[in-house]
Amino acid sequence: MLNMLDIISTFSIHSTQSRRLINQLRQYSQQKQWIIIKRINNKIINQTKLQIQKVSDQRLKSESKK
């Protein structure tokens, strides 16, 4: 029969390793989420810049026609 202390210590080691792994996964997941959020923000910013440029180009064209 296995010694209870051995079983408990083994379980404790595994649970500590599991906690570390879970924390690493959480951090990785958060980093990935931030990367995705930054990409989306950049796309939005670029789209907005394009729209502003289009509007200003249209204004310039309409003013030059006057």
Q: What is the mean pLDDT of each run of 10 residues along the chain (66 residues)?
A: 69 80 89 92 94 91 81
Q: What is the pLDDT of residue 1?
A: 53
pLDDT on residue 54 = 92
φ and ψ at residue 15, rounded to 5 degrees = -70, -35
Q: What pLDDT does residue 10 have?
A: 72
The Cα-based distances of 6 to 1, 15, 25 in angstroms read 11, 14, 28
Give the tokens for residue 4.
């209870």
pLDDT at 52: 92
**CA dist., res. 62 & res. 66, Å (int):** 7
Long-range contacts of 46-53 (CB under 8 A, 24+ apart): none
E strand map for 1-66: none
Q: What pLDDT was estimated at residue 64?
A: 84
**Which residue reads 């006057």 in tokens?**
66
